[in-house]
Amino acid sequence: MPTTPVTTELLGEHPELSHIDVGREVSGSWIRGGDGLIGFGVRARTTVTGKNRFNDARAWWKSQLASYDIRNNVRGSGTGPVLFASFAFNDDQPTELIVPEIVVGRKNGESWITWFGSDAHPELSAVSAPTSHPRITWREGSLQDSVWKSRVADAVKRIKTGALDKVVLARDVNADSDSPMDIRAIIHNLESKYPSTWVFTVAGLVGATPELLARLSKALVTSRVLAGTIRMTGDEAKDLALAGSLAKSSKDLEEHEYAVRSVADALAPYCSSTNVPEAPFVLHLANVMHLATDVTGVVNESAVPVDIFTVISSLHPSAAVCGTPTEVARGLIAELEGMNRNRYAGPVGWVDARGDGEMGIALRCGLLSEDARSVRLFAGCGIVAGSVPEDELAESQAKLSPMRTALETL
């Protein structure tokens, strides 16, 4: 069967990833602290739906790889052809899979480019400065604030009956623009303000997630768990005191423990050893602080290889975005949330030809309309027995602020 050449070569100096232009639209990104991947154009694209969507995504990616003649002169994670994927939270919604025509990568000071075809790689230039700035207007989402708070109160009552330990309730808000919003400018704004997050875009979903669902590289798997949040004030002394209170908060520690346990339990069947720190650390972002734990494991050697699809299918949905017990929490979300999550809170990231990759949880994000003139923003909060509806609303507003700021500064 004829195959298409896919070549990867080292690059010299070039603009920041979010500023690169190759004369094609951005089709995928995964950037943190200047490193990562950005894709341009679309070589292949499909959607998968249903309970087997992780297996179906793997099968489709393997079928694409079978038609490539891979000429990788760089090696290493993220080099060669790359699949960008954005999985739906629920299995009845479409998952988006995109193979870009061109991918530029950067890691630890080394840069590379991957492209399809036998011609030389395209020239890279810097993005031109925008000539117009859209005017953004805001409108309510699926539920009014007062209604959403009452749903949180209903969830707390259900938890206190012992029906479940935790549930994550999300909400949305909508933004409209008087002209198309530039996704590259949104990426740049997010990267500039939130360099310690993973800035992503796949098929119109764009955001800056602080939560790494799974990284698989040479049999080492890592998952960053976030649960327990407090809003920052901008005053260094006050924020230091708030960080201390967060680290001692019984409500937030309880919420965090459920999330960490769900991840560790999900990884255990695939790992010969796992490491779960005894206590979380406080992760400082530009707008909020989180309780955070990095869970790591060494993947078993087995007859059936474990790839990133295996890992995320086991991890999703974690207690950090769903609750515990999982199926009870799922049922309560469907009953109380009042909206379709679409790809919010689903796995998002990239996979390479070896099955290694990085997948975050699609948080602090928005879903652009096809004409890029409107966008839905999402935020969710972990609800436990000690949750207070007014506090949870404030937390959700803090979690919406990264995307709100990115849009309002276009």
pLDDT tops 90 at residue 305: no
Name the helix (H) or strand (E) containing 309.
Answer: helix 308-315
pLDDT tops 60 at residue 10: yes
Which pLDDT does position 13 carry in this prediction? 81
User: Whose CA is closest to 379, among 359, 400, 362, 358?
Assistant: 400
Under 8 Å between Cβ of 205 and 377: no
**pLDDT (mean) for 138-158:** 97
Under 8 Å between Cβ of 173 and 141: yes
Identify the residue whose tokens are 């309880």.
254
pLDDT tops 60 at residue 99: yes
Per-residue confidence band for 131, with pLDDT thresholds at 50, 70 and 90? confident
From first CA to last CA, the distance across the chain in angstroms is 47
pLDDT tops 70 at residue 303: no
Under 8 Å between Cβ of 168 and 322: yes
Which pLDDT does position 189 carry in this prediction? 94
> For position 266, which CATH number holds?
3.60.120.10
High-pLDDT (> 90) share of the chain, %: 82
Q: Which residues pair with 109 in a beta bridge?
A: none
Q: Which residues pair with 6 in a beta bridge?
A: 70, 116
For 126-130, 154-158, 247-251, which range has the lowest pLDDT when averaged over its residues?
Answer: 126-130
| pTM of the model as a whole | 0.94
For residue range 218-230, list pLDDT tens digits in order. Answer: 889 999 999 889 9
Domain of 396, in residue numbers = 4-127+135-408
Tell me the Ramachandran region of residue 394: left when phi exceeds 0, alpha when psi lies from -120 to 50, beta otherwise: alpha
**pLDDT (mean) for 380-408:** 95
Which pLDDT does position 285 carry in this prediction? 87
pLDDT tops 70 at residue 309: yes
The DSSP code for 294 is: E
Higher pLDDT, 398 or 304: 398
**pLDDT (mean) for 133-153:** 96
DSSP per-residue codes, 53-64: HHHHHHHHHHHH
Which pLDDT does position 287 carry in this prediction? 83
Which pLDDT does position 1 carry in this prediction? 60
pLDDT tops 90 at residue 241: yes
Enzyme catalytic residues: 166, 211
Which pLDDT does position 130 carry in this prediction? 74
Would you call the peptide bond into 389 cis, given omega within 30 degrees of 0 as the criterion?
A: no
Question: What does the CA dihedral 197, 201, 207, 210 come to, rounded to 10 degrees?
Answer: -30
Q: How many domains does the chain have?
A: 1
Under 8 Å between Cβ of 68 and 61: no
pLDDT tops 70 at residue 2: no
**pLDDT (mean) for 26-38:** 96
Indicate the average pLDDT of the chain: 94
**pLDDT (mean) for 64-72:** 96
